[in-house]
Amino acid sequence: MTIQKNNLSSFAELMADIKPLRQDTRHFDTPVKAKTVLVSHKMTQDAAGLFSDTYQPLLPTDGPMRWRSPQTDSLELKRLRRGDYVPEILLDVHGMRQAEAKLELIALIEACIREHCHTCCVMHGYGQGILKQQIPLWLAQHPKVQAFHQAPKAWGGDAALLVLIDIGLEDTFD
């Protein structure tokens, strides 16, 4: 016991001239995330939940890329093919990664609904064909997409898709 008291007193003597450090630069609490980070994280989760990369809808293997939902009249697909619908919003995903393109596609569909635009155009380009293969698969999964068809030459030809969106106006007038 006397050895411990002796050690403590000698330690106290050694530390008498030492000034304690002030720790004011490091904060060890969990940082508060900015609202933009939270919003982008939510959009990423929405994209992951809405668009599956493993889902394979029945899409044509020959001819132009086309698809329509079972609730959509086949005449609408023919109108898209002929170019009767003029796209009101254009989205160019050239050079984007798949994750970025998914987010932009969701934002495009939401913008169409918000702005009451029935038709939009998604320009995926030629490139290595990754987005050209994936975008139709994602569009076929979205509940608001009624149909899409390879765009006429005026809107990008086989490097773009015209998309028909259900904006839900019919329900508001009943």
Whether 115 and 154 have beta carbons less than 8 Å apart is answered as no
- State pLDDT tens for residues 51-80: 777 777 778 888 889 999 999 998 998 999
Determine the CATH number of domain 35-173. 3.30.1370.110
Q: Cβ neighbours of residue 141 under 8 Å, at least 6 residues apart?
A: 50, 51, 52, 55, 57
Residue 123 has pLDDT above 50, yes or no: yes
Residue 172 has pLDDT above 50, yes or no: no
Residue 34 has pLDDT above 80, yes or no: no
Whether 119 and 125 have beta carbons less than 8 Å apart is answered as no
Q: Which two tokens stand for residue 129?
A: 């064909």
User: How far is C-alpha 41 from the chain's CA centre?
Assistant: 10
Query: Across the strands, what pairs with 147?
Result: 68, 164
- State pLDDT tens for residues 82-108: 989 999 999 999 889 888 899 899 999
Q: Where are the domains of the chain?
A: 35-173
Task: State pTM to two decimals.
Answer: 0.68
pLDDT at 57: 77
